[in-house]
Amino acid sequence: MKKLDLHIHTKKTDSDSPFEFSLDKLKEYVEEMDIDGIAIVNHNTFDLKQFYEIQDALSDLCVVLPGIEINIGIMGFGHIVCIADVDDVQAFDRKCQLVEAKVTNKTEKITPDELKSIFPDMNNYLWIPHCGKDPTVEKNVLKALEEYIWCGEVGS
């Protein structure tokens, strides 16, 4: 059995409660919990340079995957996590820049159609919507993306 944490924030955004990221604390967490893989998923942003720094620092401990947590909605909005293949990180970074240009504060969002235009290769990513965790993704958004969603994220 593999242990994964696919929801690690490393950059403070206006969608976050106050926190300070520490690479040493992340290493300690991965070691203490004996985690096999993590995903870096900040709100509506991806930092390629920081991703590489974290990947290098944890290379002997676990797999580090690139990701982003996106505000998505039609009427309201929820969060959906997107995790990419590490071998696709350059193309993923370019797509994340489009998300970041569109979602510039915690109340802005992208629609399912906009998501599909940014990520036309939706099947190449792992999509994990908030389900039963605030902010929950709307049912009509889940319906629009159902062919790409295989699991959901609930509150801890």
pLDDT digits (tens, 9 = 90+) for 134-150: 899 999 999 999 999 99
The token pair that represents 18 in the structure block: 């106050």
Nearest-5° Cα angle at 33, 39 to 137:
40
> What are phi and psi for residue 11, nearest 5 degrees?
-125, 130
Prediction pTM value: 0.94
Q: To the nearest 10°, the Cα dihedral for 151, 118, 86, 66? A: -70
> In the chain, how many H helices and how many E strands?
5, 5
Handedness of CA 35, 38, 42, 44 (dihedral sign): negative
Q: Dihedrals φ, ψ of 107, to 5°?
A: -105, -10
Return d(Cα 71, Cα 73) in angstroms, integer: 7
Give residue 153's pLDDT band: very low, low, confident or very high (50, 70, 90).
Answer: confident
Amino acid, single-letter form, for residue 112: P
pLDDT of the residue at 49: 98
Question: Residue 92 and residue 70: Cα distance in Å, rounded?
Answer: 13
Report the pLDDT value the prediction gives residue 14, as an integer from 0 to 100: 78
Q: What is the pLDDT of residue 156?
A: 66
Residue 13 has pLDDT above 80, yes or no: no
Amino acid at 70: I
The closest of 134, 151, 138 to 73, measured between CA atoms, is 138
Render pLDDT for 27-75 as a digit per residue (tens, 0 to 9).
999 999 999 999 999 999 999 999 999 999 999 999 999 999 999 999 9
Confidence of residue 155 (pLDDT cuts 50, 70, 90): confident
Q: Is the pLDDT of residue 15 over 90?
A: no
